[in-house]
């Protein structure tokens, strides 16, 4: 379950809108509850905006920040309207997933923590699929690609460039199989991220 990714800065967004898709630092660290840059479709055009990651709910302590694609496809009430009419793109330079069983000592405390893995495209910008409502968004998750499945049982719905229009047009079932979505995998975390 993705709870940490890297987004372009506002300056990068301006460059993206001009057609540039490869970057070095700086970037913006994104966690649930933080505002992040996203693209929404309004009047037939993609518009950059910022929304908070996670739908607030009254039945649990924190926000619900990830949406299983399968639940959205089944018409789960919480996601139904957003999934059908409010889809978005989350620009990213990479995301982290924890290994489901492998632990390493924390560099701060020495206590065991789950080993984190960075998944990226070596400094190239890519998009993850999301849905939104009001001032909030949720990241879609899917079964993992072959690059992720040895580490975690879920992953963000990573979109290849030629799939963006398909996602925004309302397609869903096509994205259930992400087996061949190509990602670079690095186990450097919790050391500082360097692209």
Question: pLDDT, tens digit, for every residue of 70-122?
Answer: 999 999 999 999 999 999 999 998 998 888 888 888 878 888 888 888 899 98
Q: Please tell me the distance from the alpha carbon of residue 8 to that of residue 111, in angstroms, as a whole number.
A: 32
Band the pLDDT of 28: cuts 50, 70, 90.
confident
Residue 57 has pLDDT above 80, yes or no: yes
Which architecture, in CATH terms, is 5-96+123-179?
Alpha-Beta Complex (3.90)
Domain-by-domain residue ranges, the chain? 5-96+123-179
In this predicted structure, the answer to whether residue 10 has a pLDDT above a threshold of 60 is yes
Would you place residue 2 in the very low, low, confident or very high pLDDT band (cuts 50, 70, 90)?
A: confident
Average pLDDT taken over every residue of the chain: 87
Q: What is the pLDDT of residue 175?
A: 96
pLDDT at 195 (0 to 100): 33
Residue 158 near residue 5 (C-beta atoms within 8 A) = no
pTM value surpassing 0.75 = yes
In DSSP notation, 74-131 reads TT-TTTHHHHHH-EEEEEESEEEEEEEEEEEE-TTT--EEEEEEEEE-TTB-EEEEEE
Q: Which of 80, 94, 65, 89 is nearest to 7 (CA)?
A: 94
Percent of the chain with pLDDT over 70: 92
């Amino acid at each position: 379950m993705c709870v940490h990714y890297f987004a372009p800065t506002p300056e990068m967004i301006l460059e993206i809108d001009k057609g540039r898709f490869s970057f070095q630092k700086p970037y913006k660290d994104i966690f649930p509850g933080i505002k992040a840059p996203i693209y929404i479709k309004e009047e037939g055009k993609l518009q950059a905006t910022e929304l908070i990651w996670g739908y607030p709910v009254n039945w649990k302590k924190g926000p619900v920040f990830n949406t299983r694609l399968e639940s959205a496809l089944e018409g789960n009430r919480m996601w139904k309207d957003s999934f059908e009419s409010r889809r978005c793109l989350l620009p990213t330079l990479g995301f982290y997933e924890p290994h489901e069983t492998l632990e390493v000592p924390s560099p701060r405390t020495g206590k065991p923590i789950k080993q984190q893995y960075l998944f990226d495209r070596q400094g190239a910008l890519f998009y993850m699929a999301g849905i939104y409502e009001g001032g909030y968004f949720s990241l879609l998750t899917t079964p993992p690609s072959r690059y992720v499945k040895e580490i975690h049982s879920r992953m963000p719905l990573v979109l290849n460039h030629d799939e963006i229009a398909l996602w925004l047009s309302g397609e869903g079932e096509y994205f259930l199989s992400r087996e061949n979505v190509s990602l670079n995998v690095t186990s450097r975390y919790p050391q500082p991220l360097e692209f």
